[in-house]
Amino acid sequence: LGLIEGDIHSPDLIAKPFMEDELILICAPTHPWAAKGTIQPEELKNQGFIVREEGSGTRELFASVMLSHKIPWKIAGIHNNPESTKNAVAAGLGIAVISKLLVQKEIERGELVPVKIHGISFKRHFHLVYHKNKYFSTGMKQFADLCCLNLY
């Protein structure tokens, strides 16, 4: 039994959606975009992004959306956890696309600023995954049911 982000491609696994998440663009309060609120996609061209490590679902979604909109971008830093990403952005070392759920407090405190990108959305789904022949104990079934109660 697992909780994962992204799609499953194995016919031996069952995936049930349990949560939707949106990645948002964030910048430091001192960044020029902080006062704008919304930017055009072409403004992202060749900007320095703080990104997750290779293989990260967050990075894959970000790179895929940027590629689909033909927006070239640069790496300003690579971080393997959201805290260091948030700290780097707050320090003005670059901008980032990160889960909205992970930056709510920093946005409320004014440490980070969300910036909308006109016409671009970074949405992803989380799934409860298990083998199609998996035996579910009572506890596992209760856990799976609890996860799926919070459907978006």
d(CA 125, CA 3): 11
| pLDDT of 150 strictly over 90 | no
| Mean pLDDT, all residues of the chain | 91
Domains delineated in the chain: 20-125 (3.40.190.10)
Confidence of residue 151 (pLDDT cuts 50, 70, 90): low
Strands (E), 1-152: 2-5, 13-27, 38-39, 48-52, 74-79, 96-99, 113-117, 122-131
Confidence of residue 57 (pLDDT cuts 50, 70, 90): confident
What token pair was written down for 138? 């009572």
Q: Tell me what the mean pLDDT of segment 41-68 comes to.
A: 93
Q: Tell me what the mean pLDDT of segment 103-121 comes to.
A: 97
pLDDT at 16: 85
| pLDDT of 6 strictly over 90 | no
Helices (H), 17-132: 57-68, 82-90, 104-108
